[in-house]
Structure 1
């Protein structure tokens, strides 16, 4: 048997063998009927493959073309909207509005002032979870994108298409920084394009931490607070450097809508946002679930409470107004150290608030102010009103009111400088001068009276007579020398405190009586430095120098001590401390004041109403008591000191018999009556307000008749007996 294989028996032989019909034809020489020529199979496969490639290539070409067109369109849009930004070489991050950190003398933070409400804080100064809470809630791919987040944009686009409306924003933290720094908040295509451009520029020129720091210090947290430090101070009363995890999460949570999630007005909403922020931090791996649970449960530290704006805010406002005078334009964050004594400030705030709340309704006063300074003019406490939250108007610095009889010491001082003494005798009687007729409100007059007693009992006619005798111009000159800065008119009624002054300047003008005659300029700022410690301003001891002689100081202290020992200021007595002072009540009882001093501190108190309506309180009542209660604590631990100055009272008073009568009694004046202090005669009750019937500029005053001097040389005893 032949087992050899023929070529036809091979597996691949069919491709080489001819079909039977061809074989048959080849054998017969004729083609088969109804047969068509057939192409090889390989040619069909090649054609199918060629068509698929053409489609793929065409699709790729189409996509490339569309991308190219889209890119050109995008580039055109970018160029069109970006041209308003100018060249990127000119771009720079604008300076943050400067913050003014105001400190008490012991370093206690009073508050921050400026447009932001808090200073800028470095990212390295904050707990790490502060930035993490913001990143997890606002831009979880912050550390991986290039300023714009394509993944985030695609995600928002899909969500919005499915929902049929825009579901949420897709701006990155960098874009938000760009918007806050350079652009307006308007949502327009132009602004979004510019925002993206600026975001890419920021990413190229700043590190991620620097961008996050910019964000934390520029973003608005509501309630007037811009930046993380202002927010921490506003909502928690602490520095951002001391924020807890829960507090950081709450602040991060309120960022999408600070007003809606405000912890003050909507604590439940804020707490819910806090839980969401903590969950985001867990999702991103910044904290564990246990840490999140603990932070959410510690509500005592997380609940934001209303920070009460105390009276120290009046001081901070005043400091802010002084900055241009001290530095010019402030263009960086600064630290201002003040002269304020924190303990004394809080004591003054407490005493004044209690007095107004407890006695104001019955005595018809609703506001108060207080200023205290040491004998160098450094303000130690200042209260500009009862409640800063209700009214920021500073009644101690800005307000100008009539000082009433608290101005009389400067009339008497002007007289002392022209030869009068506390033992000069004058007559309290009805007075009329060029149509002006000041009178004592009691309608009674005590006749001859020593200047010492006239000032102690605040007799109007004597002060008016002095001003007429020496000339109002002399009174104005003396007042300016003592430190007043208000615009005074030289008219007789100035003697009765009719021209308005601030409580600050009034109190400062008393300081030379307490320090031995040296003029002062009230000041509250001791030093201003940059955040880096560079000293921009340092207070000096320069001042007007000595403006009173030792004898003039002694005479004034002799009279003003009598006022608190036996006169209208008895309610201000301060235990064993030698002190002096003067009460005051303006026309129609609209203002009640007391200014007093020791050798250590000077203080002034004002009570009244903002609408200028009358009160039913006198300077020797509530104002004197307020002064005493504040000063009693302020003097604890201080060495008791005598008031300065030298003046020896006359022991043997000599009087010339008078052929006159005391207007109040109609009885002849006796030597004994002249020699007796007013305390043994009829004493006016409280203050002696007055009415101005007509006020005219003073004409040339008449000379003052002086009684002949006795042989013992006491020539001024009866100066001004008849008052001219």
Structure 2
């Protein structure tokens, strides 16, 4: 086998051509390119830097980071979804805007005087719906500048505001959420709406407790507020939210909403307030009761200046406007500064059915009989006497009632100082012994039976045996006896023994019936001391009973309401046209009694009550131990009653009904009658008669006074000149037709079961 020759060249590398140039110096060896450096790692074998320990910790931290990152975004997603769900729930529960503007559970009562002017409010007054875009721009700006300057820029919650509030609270030593809340206006609206929780009377004692719970600051409350605030921002516009705030905020003095507050303090609409008035209203938001101008005007003005400064700082007022507002601070309207007639307001509220007054769910307009001129006169008179006639530091109290003859109450003072609504009213709530102020009803009963003011009665020692109690011996205030006196003289000098004799002769039941029919509704005593006013009554009752004497003998029911109307309605729900009821005593008897009571002021125990140039009639009253002092009386125009005493029932010092109470009565009536022409009292003057001769027993017996069968209350053997004698008589001339004296008083001694009188 032969081999074929090959034509291929041998497999050798071709030689490089050698340069003809001078050989270059040996090249510097290049460093290998560094491997890219991993962030946070170290280079090493395989292109990584660092050793095994570094790689281990890097792996651990990387794993932890990946776990936490995964957890955080998942938790965040769950929280965000939860917030969205809660927000959506609140959003779905929110009603239309109009349903949120008036959030009161109860209505209010606005009280008007007899001329139709507002003088008092009860409950929370609401001035009606107002819109943020309709109120004064100054008011809108003042609220935003004070409460939430970023209101139009946030989504309902301000983390910056909350953080700032926490810092301030902790720096002042409080808990994080106590004190400053850092709440936006939207969050405050959430609180006003109580996060949608309705008032439940079975859960809260009253609305005040409900609202306190709604405004309670805590972390849980804040966490609930946030989604509710977001829901509000989702459901309503910014102006809608501000509208809710302007209508629901409490602003002191019983006002709910800025419209009611503007009317209450400035007698104008919230659309009409100027910068300084707007600043004062906005300043109330921080502490309504503290800064209410009706409580302390100077403090309210100082707070308003702070708000004016905020408005200037935020550009809502120029420097010139702010300076002008500070130079002329807001002041109260005349209506707001007038005496509120608080005691009268409380009394008339109690006289109206509760469901239309204190328990009303509607806004009520109550037109009353109050005369603010007379109210001021009564208040000033009491103040004058206590400042000028009563020793400094005395805690004695006084009450005054002024009314017309038909029972319409025109003024009421329930204490010497003005008091908050609901305070104890001494004119209508204090039941005190009436003393001699009760005696007119004793004589009214006798006059109605036919006695004359000029009939005679014996003012001599008297003892009555009271079954179960023993002998009872009344005494006159002076401890002296006047002998034979007329009924008129006995009342004029307020003699006790004649009053008891007349009461026993007329009959206690007759006296009780007259007093009760005239309006003394308190329980009256059963014994002979009835005549001396040991029973209790209120000043309103007593004044009403005296009004019955003035009007000619008809019963009077004191009243204060003229009519009651729901706000917005034209026709009243309730009306009152007068308080005169049925006749109690004959008109002649009432006119005789008026004449007798006129003598009390003209020359008797009531002399200090005399009114120059004007006829007046009245009666003093001082109780056992001088614990109560009264003066009640009337002119042809008005009836007035005055009571004076201590709340703890201690004795008065040196005070009787004819003293300070009579002087208060005179001061009241002088002021009440300013500008009124003098009118005569409706009196009937009795015919005079000769005084009987009772100088000795035989004469008395010859005239019938000692005849046991005649029995006018005489004890056989009676000698009027013997101060130790027991017994006496009442001698009468009939007033027109009527039963004889013997018929009227026959059997009185039998009723006394053998007692002497």
Name the TM-score, length of structure 1 as normaliser.
0.74
Cα distance in 2 between the residues matched to 1:712 and 1:542: 31
* Corresponding residue of 2:113: 104
Secondary structure of the residue aligned to 1:592 is strand
| TM-superposed deviation, 1:27 | 12
Cα distance in 1 between the residues matched to 2:610 and 2:490: 19
Aligned 8 A contact 1:408 1:495 in 2: yes
Secondary structure of the residue aligned to 2:500 is helix
Gaps of at least 5 residues in structure 2 are 1-12, 17-28, 34-64, 196-213, 700-704, 707-726, 750-755
Please point out which of 192, 205, 211 is paired with 1:180: 192
Cα distance in 1 between the residues matched to 2:404 and 2:686: 28
Equivalent residue runs for 1:74-89 within 5 Å:
74-76=80-82, 88=93
Equivalent residue runs for 1:61-80 within 5 Å:
69-76=75-82
Aligned 8 A contact 2:457 2:498 in 1: yes
Cα deviations across residues 489-544 of structure 1 (Å, max 9, x unaligned)? 32221211111111111000011211122222111122223332443332233642
* Corresponding residue of 1:626: 664
Is 1:582 aligned with 2:619? yes
Aligned 8 A contact 1:706 1:718 in 2: no
Secondary structure of the residue aligned to 2:433 is coil
Is 1:317 aligned with 2:346? yes
| TM-superposed deviation, 1:229 | 6.5
Alpha-carbon distance change, 134 to 628 in structure 1, aligned in 2, over 3 angstroms: same
Cα distance in 2 between the residues matched to 1:713 and 1:258: 69
Cα distance in 1 between the residues matched to 2:453 and 2:168: 94
Cα deviations across residues 277-320 of structure 1 (Å, max 9, x unaligned)? 33443465543332122212334x47999x98957222222233
Cα deviations across residues 50-95 of structure 1 (Å, max 9, x unaligned)? xxxxxxxxx99x9999666424224436768998x89827896443
Cα distance in 1 between the residues matched to 2:355 and 2:644: 31
Aligned 8 A contact 2:87 2:227 in 1: no
Cα distance in 1 between the residues matched to 2:308 and 2:14: 90
Secondary structure of the residue aligned to 2:543 is helix
Cα deviations across residues 555-600 of structure 1 (Å, max 9, x unaligned)? 2112212222222122222234332111111111122211111221
Cα deviations across residues 410-452 of structure 1 (Å, max 9, x unaligned)? 1111222333221221111111212222101322111111111
Cα distance in 1 between the residues matched to 2:673 and 2:332: 39
Alpha-carbon distance change, 352 to 542 in structure 1, aligned in 2, over 3 angstroms: closer
* Corresponding residue of 2:477: 441
Aligned length: 627
* Corresponding residue of 1:684: none
Please point out which of 606, 609, 617 is paired with 2:655: 617
Aligned 8 A contact 1:101 1:119 in 2: no
Cα distance in 2 between the residues matched to 1:267 and 1:635: 33
Secondary structure of the residue aligned to 2:573 is strand
Is 1:635 aligned with 2:635? no
Cα distance in 1 between the residues matched to 2:363 and 2:736: 71
Secondary structure of the residue aligned to 2:389 is helix
Equivalent residue runs for 1:191-590 within 5 Å:
191-202=221-232, 208-209=238-239, 211-221=241-251, 227-228=257-258, 241=270, 243-253=273-283, 255-256=285-286, 274-282=304-312, 285-299=315-329, 301=330, 310=339, 312-325=341-354, 327=356, 329-361=359-391, 366-389=396-419, 392-433=423-464, 434=466, 435-534=471-570, 535-541=572-578, 543-590=580-627
Aligned 8 A contact 1:98 1:334 in 2: yes
Is 1:598 aligned with 2:635? yes
Which piece of structure 1 moves more, 102-111 or 213-222? 213-222
Which piece of structure 1 moves more, 386-395 or 707-716? 707-716
| TM-superposed deviation, 1:355 | 0.6
* Corresponding residue of 1:644: 682
Which piece of structure 1 moves more, 620-629 or 72-81? 72-81
Aligned 8 A contact 2:559 2:579 in 1: no
Aligned 8 A contact 2:112 2:118 in 1: yes
| TM-superposed deviation, 1:142 | 3.4
Which piece of structure 1 moves more, 612-621 or 215-224? 215-224
Which piece of structure 1 moves more, 494-503 or 321-330? 321-330
Cα distance in 2 between the residues matched to 1:602 and 1:460: 25
| TM-superposed deviation, 1:262 | 8.1
Secondary structure of the residue aligned to 1:370 is strand
Cα distance in 2 between the residues matched to 1:711 and 1:485: 31
Cα distance in 2 between the residues matched to 1:705 and 1:596: 27
| TM-superposed deviation, 1:638 | 3.3
Which piece of structure 1 moves more, 325-334 or 91-100? 91-100
Aligned 8 A contact 1:136 1:280 in 2: yes
Cα distance in 2 between the residues matched to 1:650 and 1:564: 20
Aligned 8 A contact 2:108 2:121 in 1: yes
Cα distance in 2 between the residues matched to 1:711 and 1:380: 38
Aligned 8 A contact 2:119 2:340 in 1: no
| TM-superposed deviation, 1:634 | 2.2
CA RMSD of aligned residues (A): 4.8
Aligned 8 A contact 1:571 1:624 in 2: yes
Secondary structure of the residue aligned to 2:370 is coil
Please point out which of 126, 138, 145 is paired with 1:136: 145
Which piece of structure 1 moves more, 562-571 or 372-381? 562-571
Please point out which of 113, 118, 125 is paired with 2:122: 113
Which piece of structure 1 moves more, 124-133 or 562-571? 124-133
| TM-superposed deviation, 1:338 | 1.9
| TM-superposed deviation, 1:629 | 2.5
Alpha-carbon distance change, 100 to 430 in structure 1, aligned in 2, over 3 angstroms: same
Alpha-carbon distance change, 198 to 432 in structure 1, aligned in 2, over 3 angstroms: farther
Cα deviations across residues 448-477 of structure 1 (Å, max 9, x unaligned)? 111111111111011112223333222221
Cα distance in 2 between the residues matched to 1:432 and 1:134: 78
Gaps of at least 5 residues in structure 1 are 1-24, 29-33, 39-58, 663-667, 670-701
* Corresponding residue of 2:159: 153
Name the TM-score, length of structure 2 as normaliser.
0.71
